[in-house]
C-alpha cells in the first residue's frame, strides 16, 4: 500500500499533495498574515467601541488575504502546477470559511462581543482538513487549540474577552506558522533528494 504522507511517494496523489505543500509554504503565510491582522484588531478594540471593533474584525480578512498571497509568493518553493488535480479542492478549502459568514453576522447581531469567538470556532473547523492536505497533524492541533481556547476565554472573561481572544488566536497562529513552514520546507528537501 502506498503511503501518501511520504514526500518520496511517486503516485499521482503523492505528487499532487507535495505540489500543494510546496506551492503554499504549508499555509504558513496565511497564519502569519491573519495572525498580524488579529493582533492589529485586538489593539484597535481597546480604542473603539465593541460594535465598531467587531465590524473591523469581521472584515480584517480583506487586508489579511492579499498580504497572505503576497507572503505566499515570497515564501513558497514553487508554484502549483495548473493541472494539479487538488487545485480545486485546495481553493474550496481555502474559501470554505466564507460560507460561515452568516454565523458571524448572527453572532454580531446578538452580541458583537462574541465575534472573535465565533471567528475562532469557524477558523478552528476550517483547519482540520488541512491536516490531510498539508500532511501534518499540526493543523489538527491548531484547529482544536484555536476553537477550544477561544471558547474557554469567552466563558471565563465574558464581555471583556473580545481583545484577549484576538490576541490569543494571533499568538497561536504566529507560534504555529514556523512549524508549518519547516514541515513544508522539509517535504520539499526530501522530495528533491
Cα angle at 122 between 117 and 126, to 5 degrees? 145
Over 80: is that where the pLDDT of 87 sits?
Answer: yes
Sequence spans of domains, the chain: 12-192
Q: What pLDDT does residue 2 have?
A: 40
pLDDT bin (cut points 50, 70, 90) of residue 187 is confident
Residue 41 is placed in which grid cell? 484588531
Q: What pLDDT does residue 191 have?
A: 79
d(C-alpha 67, C-alpha 36), whole Å: 10
pLDDT bin (cut points 50, 70, 90) of residue 180 is very high
Over 70: is that where the pLDDT of 164 sits?
Answer: yes
DSSP 8-state code for residue 161: G
DSSP codes, 27-94:
GHHHHHHHHHHHHHHHHHHTTS-HHHHHHHHHTTHHHHHHHHHHHHHHH-SSPPPTT-TTHHHHHHHH
pLDDT bin (cut points 50, 70, 90) of residue 10 is low
pLDDT bin (cut points 50, 70, 90) of residue 39 is very high
pTM above threshold 0.75: yes
Tallying the residues shown for the chain, one arrives at 193
Q: What pLDDT does residue 46 have?
A: 98
Q: What pLDDT does residue 77 have?
A: 76
Amino acid at each position: 500500500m502506498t503511503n501518501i504522507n511520504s514526500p518520496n511517494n511517486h503516485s499521482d496523489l503523492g505528487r499532487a499533495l507535495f505540489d500543494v505543500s510546496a506551492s503554499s509554504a504549508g499555509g504558513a503565510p496565511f497564519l502569519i498574515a491573519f495572525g498580524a491582522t488579529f493582533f492589529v484588531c485586538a489593539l484597535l478594540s481597546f480604542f473603539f467601541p465593541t460594535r465598531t471593533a467587531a465590524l473591523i474584525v469581521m472584515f480584517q480578512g480583506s487586508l489579511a488575504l492579499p498580504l497572505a498571497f503576497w507572503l505566499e509568493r515570497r515564501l513558497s518553493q514553487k508554484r502549483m502546477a495548473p493541472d494539479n488535480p487538488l487545485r480545486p479542492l485546495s481553493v474550496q478549502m481555502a474559501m470554505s470559511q466564507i460560507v460561515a459568514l452568516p454565523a458571524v453576522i448572527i453572532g454580531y447581531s446578538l452580541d458583537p462581543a462574541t465575534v472573535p469567538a465565533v471567528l475562532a470556532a469557524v477558523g478552528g473547523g476550517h483547519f482540520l482538513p488541512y491536516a490531510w492536505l498539508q500532511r501534518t497533524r499540526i493543523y489538527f492541533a491548531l484547529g482544536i487549540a484555536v476553537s477550544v481556547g477561544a471558547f474557554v476565554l469567552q466563558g471565563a472573561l465574558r464581555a471583556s474577552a473580545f481583545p484577549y481572544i484576538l490576541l490569543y488566536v494571533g499568538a497561536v497562529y504566529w507560534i504555529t506558522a514556523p512549524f508549518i513552514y519547516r514541515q513544508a520546507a522539509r517535504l520539499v528537501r526530501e522530495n528533491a533528494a
